[in-house]
Amino acid sequence: MFRTLSHAYRSIARIVALIPLLAGAAVFASTGDARADFRVCNGTQSLVGGAIGYRTQEGWVTEGWWQIPANSCATLIEGQLGSRYYYLYAEDAGGGGRWAGDINMCVADNEFRIVGVEDCFARGFQRVGFKEYDTGRQGSWMVQLSDAPEGPESNN
């Protein structure tokens, strides 16, 4: 029995010795939570669909659709942002309005990744106006969509 208790005490001592290492690992991991992303937060009471546009080595790219439930956020680009300018188009799923701009890019009805912004209609896509966001080359950016836009032509 003494041997069993001695073995148990050694096991506990090993666990106690690991606690500072585990605590340090937890602190290190928590610093990773401040990730760099392009996020869109939906502050409305409606589901919102979002699309993003940006420049890459292969040219202009648009991607979508992200479904962003009411009062929640979605990450449209994960990781450190590589460009200064990003473009966002979002619309209320109920057809109540949209967050748009004057930079025309291509979108599709369903999930998409489109290279190029020219000849949207000829290539079977729609053309919509995206709003430009100048990130100032920051590593992360967040856009807050406020209450439902005033109408189909609203720019928030």
Q: Is the pTM of this model over 0.85?
A: no
- Which residue has 């209320």 as its token pair? 92
In this structure, the answer to whether residues 11 and 80 fall within a common structural domain is no
What's the whole-number mean pLDDT along residues 93-107?
Answer: 89
Kindly state whether residues 28 and 54 are assigned to the same domain.
Answer: no
Judgement on whether residues 51 and 127 belong to the same structural domain of the protein: yes
My answer on whether 58 and 91 are in the same domain is: yes
- 141 located within any domain: yes
The band of 35, judged by pLDDT with boundaries at 50, 70 and 90, is low
pLDDT at 130 over 70: yes
Cβ atoms of 39 and 144 within 8 Å: the answer is no
Query: Is pLDDT of 16 > 70?
Result: no
Give yes or no for residue 153 having a pLDDT over 70: no
- Model confidence at 156: pLDDT above 60: no
Cα–Cα separations (whole angstroms), residue 143 to 41, 110, 130: 6, 23, 13
113, part of any domain: yes
- Could you tell me if 25 and 46 lie in one domain? no
Of the pLDDT bands very low, low, confident and very high (cuts 50, 70, 90), residue 95 is confident
Residues 1, 56 within the same domain: no
pLDDT of residue 39: 94
Whether residue 12 is predicted with pLDDT greater than 50 in this model: the reply is no
Query: Closest by alpha carbon to 102, among 63, 141, 84, 128?
Result: 128
Q: Are residues 50 and 77 in the same domain?
A: yes
Mean pLDDT (whole number) for 4-11 = 45
Residue 138 lies in a domain: yes
- E-assigned strand segments in 2-156: 37-42, 48-56, 59-68, 72-78, 85-92, 98-99, 103-107, 112-115, 126-134, 141-145
In a domain, 96, yes or no: yes
Check whether residue 30 and residue 50 sit in a common domain.
no
107 within a domain of the structure (yes/no): yes
Answer yes or no: do 83 and 29 share one domain.
no
Count structural domains, the chain. 2
Q: Is residue 156 part of a domain?
A: no
Once rounded to an integer, what is the mean pLDDT over residues 32-41? 74
Residues 109 and 126 in one domain: yes
| pLDDT in the model for residue 128 | 96
Owning domain of residue 14: 1-34
